[in-house]
Amino acid sequence: MSIMEEGADLRLVGLKELHRLSLLDGADNRELYRQYLEVGCRLLGLSVGIISRVQGQDYQVLAVQSGNDAIRAGDHYALGDTYCAEVLAKQGSVALHDVGALESMRSHPAYTGLQLQAYIATPIRVQGDIVGTLNFSDTRPRPEPFSMEEMEFLELMALSLGHGLERSWLETQRVRAVSDMETNVALFEGAFRHAAIGMAIVAPNGRWLRVNEAVSRIVGYSDSELREIDFQAITHPDDLDKDLEHVERLLRGDATTYRMKKRYTHKEGREVWVLLAVSLVRNSDGTPRYFLSQLEDITAQVNGEIALREQRDELEQLNRELAGLARQDALTGLSNRPVILEQLRQHLKLGLRTREPLSLVLVEVGNLDQLNQEHGHAAGDDALVAVAEALGKLGSGKNCLGRFTGQQFLMLLPEAGLNQAEDVAEDCRQAVLSLADVPLPLTVSLGVATLMPCDAEQVDYGSTDAALQAAETALSAARDAGKNCCRTVTL
């Protein structure tokens, strides 16, 4: 089962995993491949993952994650016998959620031989060239096509893997250049000057000795400007202590390299995030000679992570607000009809267990239509809000109040007998009649129903329908008796 089927946010989880993978040491390609395949299989919900190398029509399995030995690392296939031939032909991603449903694919060797029913793949590019594919498959078809989020996640994985391979190759070139520096300066100079990422030679005291053009683009300072200062001068204050701790470990010999995410202050004053990799080159006698640093601008990636976190926080806040709105009447802020009915059901159950009475007061504003006609619906809405506020101040803390219909409010009085309910109803009547800030004096009719579980033997006692019918019967009697009065019914 993929993470999308489990209800999580693939963009957020995928980005976190890709960030973690991007920080892995690329020196051990086998471990790098294993980590990428494990993440892909887990998040896409597929059982087979393959990283391949494609040279001409030769398809070589570099790494595989699978529950069986049908495909092994080092296996070679004719490219045309694999689904990946479509990837190379298309120069882009391919997704097949149910191969068996495609008549044109049922004779394909990958289907007849391996029974691969679901398949999703994308090219792996290094320095712009396709060197292989990253693909995941399963012998079970997927019930639904692959989503856009899953396609984007796979393509980002391949992009990250390609960058990791590129960094690995660059690292290999860098180490070779350092070891051959004295005998092959020209080779080192070419790699240094034209590297796609920032490269710098830094003195043991932190002074910039040399930088390439990429470093100048990242931080905004020219080569000559940087050689007048040290790296500490443009390192963000919040990252400086951590950076210096790493430097001290290299100088003490506790480590040979370090990698960290850090911020520089651009010449224009803005923050620039980089992924920094530093190695210490020593003289033949073991004394520090210089630091060789690589700087990769990851500002866009970090800003994207921050934006995603902000969006997630906004979404969580919105969900909390929506959850509250789903339980509230939009106009008055009281419990809405479904909520007050659920509260009634719960109090009925409780009353049957405790043998305590329960009273309902159904309050109806009688001349709201006249108010709307003479003064507009906004005035009618204001009057309903005023009624809700007045009723909300009455009774004890155990009471429940909700808007029942457009002109009706339902008040639940747990443990209240008939006399108490009639007193509360009278308070409600007086509160509505006493409202002074309405353009037309309001009329009100009230129906009181009191349920006495200690005396109840009828089979429908405890049902919401019986309780509401009793309150509505009392309200109807109040209407018939004239405006501004209350009638009661006892169950």
φ/ψ of residue 55, rounded to 5: -130, 110
Q: Please enumerate in sequence order all residues whose Cβ is within 8 A of that of 113, keeping only pairs 6 or more positions apart, or say none.
A: none
What element of type H or E holds 58? strand 58-65
Q: Tell me: the pLDDT tens digits for 273-312?
A: 999 999 999 998 999 999 999 999 999 998 888 888 888 8
- pLDDT greater than 70 at residue 6: no
Amino acid 42 reads R
Q: How far apart are CA 298 and CA 267, in angstroms?
A: 17
> Is 50 a residue whose pLDDT tops 80?
yes
The stretch 232-250 carries a mean pLDDT of: 93
122 backbone dihedrals φ, ψ, rounded to 5°: -150, 155
Q: Please, which pLDDT band fits residue 114 given cuts at 50, 70 and 90?
A: confident
Q: What are phi and psi of 439, to 5 degrees?
A: -70, -20
Residue 161, pLDDT score: 85
Q: What is the pLDDT of residue 394?
A: 87
Residue with tokens 């096509």: 145
pLDDT in tens, 347-378: 988 888 888 899 999 999 988 889 999 999 99
- Per DSSP, the three-state class of 279 is strand
102 or 315: which leads in pLDDT: 102
In the predicted structure, residue 206 carries a pLDDT above the cut 60: yes
Counting every residue written for the chain, the total comes to: 491
Give domain 10-165's CATH architecture.
2-Layer Sandwich (3.30)
Judge whether 337 and 419 are in contact, CB under 8 Å.
Answer: no
Check pLDDT > 80 for residue 75.
yes
pLDDT mean over 469-490: 91
Question: Is residue 441 over pLDDT 80?
Answer: yes
Look over the chain and give the mean of its residue pLDDT values, rounded to a whole number: 86
Nearest to 309 by CA among 15, 64, 79, 113: 15
> Is the pLDDT assigned to residue 3 strictly greater than 50?
no
pLDDT at res. 220: 92
pLDDT of residue 375: 92
Average pLDDT over residues 123-148: 92
Task: Give the mean model confidence (pLDDT) for residues 447-452.
Answer: 91
CATH 3.30.450.20-classified regions of the chain: 180-301
DSSP 70: S
Which amino acid appears at position 218 of this protein?
I
pLDDT for the residue 483: 80
pLDDT in tens, 151-204: 999 999 889 888 877 777 777 667 776 665 555 455 566 667 767 788 899 999
Instruction: Please give the average per-residue pLDDT across 404-420, as a whole number.
Output: 92
Report in angstroms the alpha-carbon separations of 355 from 322, 349, 352, 359, 480. 37, 10, 5, 13, 33
CA distance 288 to 278: 13
* Beta bridge partners of residue 121, listed in sequence order: 94, 135
CATH number, span 180-301: 3.30.450.20
Structure token pair of residue 375? 């003064």
Buried b (16+ CB within 10 A) or exposed e, 403-436: bbeebbbbbbbbebebebbbebbebbbebbeeee
- Kind of pairing between the strands at 94-96 and 208-211: unpaired
Instruction: Check pLDDT > 50 for residue 485.
Output: yes
Pairing of strands 444-451, 485-490: parallel
Q: What's the rounded Cα separation, in Å, for the pair 216 and 464?
A: 75
The phi and psi torsions of 68 (rounded to 5 degrees) equal: -140, 180
Q: Please say if the pLDDT value at position 99 is more than 80.
A: yes
> Is 119 in contact with 99 (CB distance < 8 Å)?
yes
More confidently predicted of 338 and 176: 338
pLDDT at 4 over 60: no
pLDDT value for 171: 72
Here the tokens at position 291 are 């630091």
Whether the Cβ atoms of residue 151 and residue 120 lie closer than 8 Å to each other: yes
Residue 325 pLDDT > 60:
no
CATH 3.30.450.40 domain locations along the chain: 10-165
Residues 6+ apart with CB under 8 A from 170: 195, 196, 197, 294
Nearest to 75, CA basis, from 51, 104, 102: 51
Spatial neighbors of 157 by CB under 8 A, at least 6 apart, are 14, 18, 21, 36, 39, 40, 122, 134
Query: What CATH number has the domain spanning 337-490?
Result: 3.30.70.270
Q: How many CB atoms lie within 10 A of CB 382?
A: 17
Mean pLDDT throughout 426-436?
92
User: In the predicted model, is pLDDT for residue 251 greater than 90?
Assistant: yes
DSSP string, 324-381: HHTTB-TTT-SB-HHHHHHHHHHHHHHHHHHT--EEEEEEEETTHHHHHHHH-HHHHH
What is the predicted pLDDT for the residue at 63?
92
CA-nearest of 160, 172, 205, 212 to 189 is: 212
